[in-house]
Chains A and B, each alone.
Chain A
Amino acid sequence: MNAPPVTQDARTETSGDKVGSGAGLLPQTWFGGPIPWVIAILIALVVIAAAGGLSFRNLAENARADLSGAVTVQIAEADPQVRTAQAEAAGDALAGHPLVTSVRIVPEAELIELLEPWLGSAASSEDVPIPALIDVELTRRADRQELAQLQLALDRALEPLGGSARVDAQSEWLRPVYDALAALQYLALALIALVGFATAAAVWLAARSAFANHRDTVEIIHLLGGTDAQVTRIFQRSVLRDAVFGGIIGLLLGLGAVWLLGQQFAALDSGMVAGGGLGWVDWVVIAAIPLGGVLLALITGRITIGLALKAML
């Protein structure tokens, strides 16, 4: 038999078209459809939500770390001299307590300075009695029982002087703020879950639509002896391409939005807001979001095509 009449060019063109990899069996539409862009938008939303959630977590953790190991002792006594004596007795009692690392009796001048914006000149007059405040640093975050023991130690120290003191854990003051931050974190998590669900739904719809559009080709492949795995690979390839494109674009869009928001918050120059900055681990988590999106899209695509194939003989 003579040599095959197909030209060298034709061989080159066809040699890369392997069914095993799924190339060429479906017409390639380079990001012409809406799905890559839908995935991009959804990934961008996840990036923003994740960055927000991580930021809130950092904010809460930093604030808690700053405040959880400290308490304020307040001594309310109208007589300045008695108040000073009681404050010194309380300071001595606290200094000897094993849970305490440092004690600072806040100078009256400092207290007046703090109150002046609200009370004006009345803050420095004798008409308005100002309680004595003692800042106490603890070795660690104290639980309720340990705070009660601290209170008992103070009561015993002040009993001879006929006074009393109140122990306020600073973290307790900020409990509503922590609760709000925790709620925002849960909100971010819920948003991520919803967007993940929306991504899966978008891929599911796209895969079903692609399968319906190419059903005839799938049937031909089946009738020529193609396996479900071969057909699935063909569609997986398409899903992978769309998801990678959407993931990269979405990450860039999301990072842009996060950077802009970061600039806006940084301009507030607030100490508390500064505690919400993102660390390198956070950035790694954010960078991994498109990978998660691609994985989710691949799994969804595989399940969708697998179910559609099972409905065929």
Chain B
Amino acid sequence: MVKFDNVGLRYGADAEVLSDLSFTLFPGSFYFLTGASGAGKTSLLKLLYLAQRPSRGSIRMFGKDMITLPRQRLPDFRRRLGVVFQNFRLVPHLSAFDNVALPLRLAGTNEAKVVKAVSDMLEWVGLSHRAQAIPATMSGGEQQRVAIARAVIARPQILIADEPTGNVDPEMALKLLRLFEALNNRVGTTVIVATHDVHLLKKVPDSLIMRLAKGRLSDPTGALRYPPAPKPKIKTKSTGPRPLPEDPR
């Protein structure tokens, strides 16, 4: 699904912030990206969500070479990704509803379907009552949930989340993680969560861990190069997270 080969990234003439990254992300897997502050987590995520091109190496996503892909073709690939940014990056003058609706509207989805899908999604993240609130009037946790709803509304093939639990209390952090798990288990979305919270890693037992240190990735077990074992099918439990809303497409 995603293959990095000997990728390096530098900003301007500075030293490389990422060096010699080689790994493969397999469909339906759940990855944690860890590392100390300044290790290069956000830079790696930027490469993954196509906000940045590497200085060297090769990146293939969905079978295409992202290095040589013309920029006008990037939107097609970005629409297959869902991103939860570290600082949420909600459009400040749009309501929660319109922020969540943005990926669908950009993809040209019928407005009636948009209204239905966004309403369901806001209910799913427990923000129906805040549908018309603008980000400035929302708490950090509410903004985070809007950002997550926006990231998953179009059923991305890959969900990338940069410190998604950084601004919420432990209870909400766990709840958000369960949302990602549900997306991973029930829809088959590949999830990559960047975090420096080591306690979070134990909460998703089947997850794979990518450790970044000084811009280099450690992969002592080779887990990032070989496909993981197939997951057991999740049975519907009454205690599990609520089912995801219908696919708007």
Chain A residues with CB under 8 Å of chain B are 1-2, 4-7, 10-11, 13-15, 17-20, 24-27, 216-217, 219-228, 230, 310, 313
Contact = CB atoms under 8 A, between A and B. Distances in A.
B197 interface: no
B78 A225 contact: yes
A225 B79 contact: yes
Q: Which of B91, B103, B128, B154 has the most CB of A within 10 A?
A: B91
A217 B91 contact: yes
B93 A27 contact: yes
Interface in B104-145: 105-108, 111, 115-116, 118-120, 122-123, 128-129, 131-132
A230 B53 CA distance: 22
Contacts of B102: 19, 220-221, 224
B49 interface: yes
A6 B119 contact: yes
A313 B50 contact: yes
Contacts of B154: 225
Given A10-B97, A24-B94, A27-B93, A5 B122 contact: yes
Interface in B221-246: 243, 245-246
Given A1-B246, A17-B98, A25-B94, A221 B123 contact: no
A181 B75 CA distance: 57
A10 to B, nearest CB: 5
Contacts of A4: 115-116, 119-120, 123, 128
Contacts, number: 100
B172 interface: no
Interface string B169-201: 000000000000000000000000000000000
A214 to B, nearest CB: 9
A15 B27 CA distance: 35
A170 B105 CA distance: 72
Nearest to A17: B98
Contact of B123 (A5, A17, A19, A219): A5
A265 to B, nearest CB: 52
B83 interface: yes
B108 A6 contact: no
Contact of A220 (B50, B89, B105, B246): B89
A228 B76 CA distance: 12
Majority secondary structure, A binding face:
loop
A5 B246 CA distance: 15
A24 B106 contact: no
A223 B51 contact: yes
Interface of B: 49-53, 71-72, 74-76, 78-79, 83, 89, 91-95, 97-98, 101-103, 105-108, 111, 115-116, 118-120, 122-123, 128-129, 131-132, 150, 154, 243, 245-246
A225 B106 contact: yes
A7 B97 CA distance: 12
Contacts of A2: 123
Contacts of A230: 106
Nearest to B74: A313
Contacts of B246: 1
Which A-B residue pairs are the 3 nearest by beta carbons?
Answer: A4-B119, A225-B79, A5-B128
Contacts of A227: 72, 75, 106
A239 B189 CA distance: 40
Given A313-B52, A313-B71, A226 B106 contact: yes
Contacts of A310: 71
B72 A228 contact: yes
Given A13-B132, A222-B78, A223-B78, A20 B98 contact: no
Contact of B108 (A14, A17, A20, A24): A20
A27 B136 CA distance: 14
B106 A221 contact: yes
Contacts of B122: 5-6
B243 A6 contact: no
A224 B103 CA distance: 6
A20 B111 CA distance: 11
A179 to B, nearest CB: 54
Contact of A19 (B72, B79, B83, B105): B105
B98 A1 contact: no
Given A1-B120, A4-B123, A14-B115, A225 B103 contact: yes
A13 B134 CA distance: 14
A223 B83 contact: yes
